[in-house]
Amino acid sequence: MVAARAAFLGAGHHDAIGEALPTAAGPIAAPGVLVDVGAGTGHHLAAVLDALPDRVGVAVDSSTPAVRRAARAHPRMAAVAADAWRALPLRDDAAAVVLSVFAPRGAREIARILAPGGAVLAITPTERHLAELRAPLGLLRTEPGKADRLASDLRLHERERRLVERELRLTADEALLAARMGPAGHHDRPVAALPDTVTATLSVELTVLSSTA
């Protein structure tokens, strides 16, 4: 799964997310680090740090192979292995921004580490996300209304929400990488079941949340 993420993201297929996150994070003036909870390889946090040269980041993931990659993803990024559902290894009010990109989120710990004036930037898939790959690759259907529940789940206030959507042109191998990135990644289908080129939809919502309305 980690190798598939590194290859797929490295090919630029989620660059639209990497452009949207820095735009949302830039105006946040709270002191503290940028924390990516469930950071995977650190790809998205690295994109934000590239755009914000005065910030430093901490990538948190439960996967040791992912953390090893994240530790090398950016010179201003540290990486640590930790369970997103348990205590995060950061002090109170340490995070100016918490990123949650296709990742689990523990409300209590996020509230604890989020600095006053800070914000959570959450990326959640819509029902259209990679819908073209569901049947041929056995991908799980996206649960509807994920972004609608973020504020109540995290006990924060929604400040902004925007749709990020792009058409992706993938080779058959790249489509398989997209499948291996997620929870259905262990259910491979033969490459021969796909055409040489596949069109798929990147469709996610970026939600900005904070402790104040």
pLDDT, position 192: 52
* Main-chain phi, psi angles of 56, to 5 degrees: -120, 160
Per-domain boundaries in the chain: 2-126+141-167+204-210
Identify the pLDDT of residue 190. 53
User: Cβ distance 56 to 77 under 8 Å?
Assistant: yes
**Residue 206 DSSP one-character state:** E
The pLDDT assigned to 124 comes to 96
Cα–Cα dist 68/50, whole Å: 20
- pTM value is 0.92
Task: Kindly give, in sequence order, each residue whose CB lies less than 8 Å from that of residue 195, ignoring residues fewer than 6 positions away.
Answer: 172
Give, as one character, the DSSP assignment of residue 113: H
Count other Cβ atoms within 10 Å, centred on residue 75: 8
Give me the pLDDT at residue 160, please: 96
Look at residues 108, 115, 206, 205 and name the one whose alpha carbon lies nearest to residue 155: 108
Residue length of the chain? 213
pLDDT of residue 194: 80
Segments in the chain below pLDDT 70? 183-192, 213
CA distance linking residue 199 with residue 105, whole number of Å:
31
Six-digit token pair at 165?
């959507």
User: Which pLDDT does position 84 carry in this prediction?
Assistant: 86
Q: How far apart are CA 191 and CA 210, in angstroms?
A: 43
Provide CATH code, domain 2-126+141-167+204-210: 3.40.50.150
The helix/strand/coil state of 178 is helix
